[in-house]
Structure 1
Amino acid sequence: MFMSGCVKRYFLLISGLFFMGLGISLITKSSLGTPPISSIPYVLCLIYPVTFGELTFIFSLLFLLGEILLLGRNFPKNQYPQVFVGFFLGLFVDLGMLIVSSIQPAQYLWQISILLIGCVILALGIYLQVTANVIMNPGEGLVQIIAVRTKIRFGLIKIIFDSLLVTGAIIISLIHFGTLNGIREGTVISAGLVGYIIILISAMMNKINFQAWLSK
């Protein structure tokens, strides 16, 4: 019974990471920006011969390193597998970019539609990954540790964290291109909308007793 529940949770984790990668890819392909957490990796992949997914993995490692530096010996050993979470997320971002490679939205209404679909898929992925409750995503883990250390609400730290990432992406883009690449209104829309979609998905899952199925 324990193994059954464990298998379900890891299946949810991998599924969640897949949908996160696909959602990030769709939002990016909308040509209206990329999610805040992916902003710097995306801008850098436009500059250097490294894929979006590879840079996503590299930044996941940097976030994990930040967690370890902040907690030192108190860093939970069971969270070291966050390395694999970062790896699979990066893998699924590249796979997602391949899946949606044929999408080239030209009209603004079509771009908005792709953006919104991407937000829904990203929100589903985040919900599944969080619900699995197995291993944290390095980015969220770093935000949580900072929130605990500073005694500031997680939501506020998350806003500051995302804002710093977007600011960094803007600076890098302006330095290398002289204009904004990868940062547009879609970045702001995805940042504000995804959380509300997660709440809606959670409410829907509660109605079908999803947590009860997971616990069996």
Structure 2
Amino acid sequence: MSFGVAFSIVSTLGTTPISSISYSLTLITDINIAITTFVFNAALILVQFLILRSQFKRKRLLQLINCVLFGYFTDLALYLVSFVPFDGSILMCVIFLVLSIFLIALGIFIYMPANIAPLPGEGCVEAIAIVTDWRFSTIKIGFDATMVTISLIMCGLWYTSIFGAVNIGTIISAFLVGFTLRQIANLYNHITGENINVVNR
């Protein structure tokens, strides 16, 4: 997922929805993305507590470890992706965007069913799914769209351009990560005959 975020940033088409607020904070404050990612994700754990209340399990606090790791690996992934040839052409931008969407959806599909500690963004989506019984992938689309809207407002108010962190690729990702996740789950079911439960109660 860190590589997914890195590819989205380098694509110049806008960062991924879940990292758009963190990246907006980096642009506005000039603070390292590892730190802004930690701060934003820690805030999302508080949001989960407010959503779940009595259903909030202490195990969810393990997400704080994920906050640190995700921030660090996002910074590392940005460094490593900088070595991947990128000529700025429309084709390369689209390739990087597609890679980003796929890597993030695949990452969610792999780690959510493990039921150890989700990243706080997916933890929020899961929390909403628990209290509403709505489909995870559907909520994911709405959640990502909300993150994009907040990022636009932040950059519009405090950065030189409203499109500092958000661009067409961010909006595409907001709708396609959840859709891609659903297709990966359906493909897994078709191949193995088993259903993967993304939401853990």
Normalising by structure 2, what TM-score? 0.82
Contact 1:26-1:115 within 8 A present in 2 as well? yes
Contact 1:35-1:187 within 8 A present in 2 as well? yes
Deviations 1:149-174 (A, max 9, x none): 4x372455434332222111111212
Deviations 1:69-117 (A, max 9, x none): 3444542122211111222221211111111123544111111111111
Match of 2:25 among 44, 58, 66: 44
Contact 1:34-1:186 within 8 A present in 2 as well? yes
Deviations 1:38-76 (A, max 9, x none): 111111111223222321121110010112234445421
**Identity percentage over the alignment?**
32
Higher RCO (CA 8 Å, separation ≥ 6 residues) = 1
Match of 1:63 in 2: 44
**For residues 86 and 160 of structure 1, do their structure 2 counterparts lie closer, same or farther at Cα, with a shift above 3 Å needed?**
same
Q: Does 1:144 align with 2:126?
A: yes
Larger radius of gyration: 1
Match of 1:118 in 2: 100
Match of 1:96 among 71, 77, 81: 77
1:26 Cα deviation from its structure 2 partner? 0.4
Structure 2 gaps of 5+ residues are 196-201
1:144 Cα deviation from its structure 2 partner? 3.0
1:203 Cα deviation from its structure 2 partner? 4.4
Match of 1:194 in 2: 177
Q: Does 1:133 align with 2:126?
A: no
Amino acid at match of 1:194: V
Give the whole-Å Cα distance in 2 for the aligned partners of 1:110 and 1:158.
Answer: 27
**For residues 71 and 197 of structure 1, do their structure 2 counterparts lie closer, same or farther at Cα, with a shift above 3 Å needed?**
closer
1:139 Cα deviation from its structure 2 partner? 1.6
**For residues 123 and 160 of structure 1, do their structure 2 counterparts lie closer, same or farther at Cα, with a shift above 3 Å needed?**
closer
**For residues 157 and 124 of structure 1, do their structure 2 counterparts lie closer, same or farther at Cα, with a shift above 3 Å needed?**
closer
Deviations 1:114-141 (A, max 9, x none): 1111222222211111232222222222
Contact 1:30-1:105 within 8 A present in 2 as well? no
**Cα root mean square deviation, aligned:** 2.6
Aligned residues: 192
Normalising by structure 1, what TM-score? 0.77
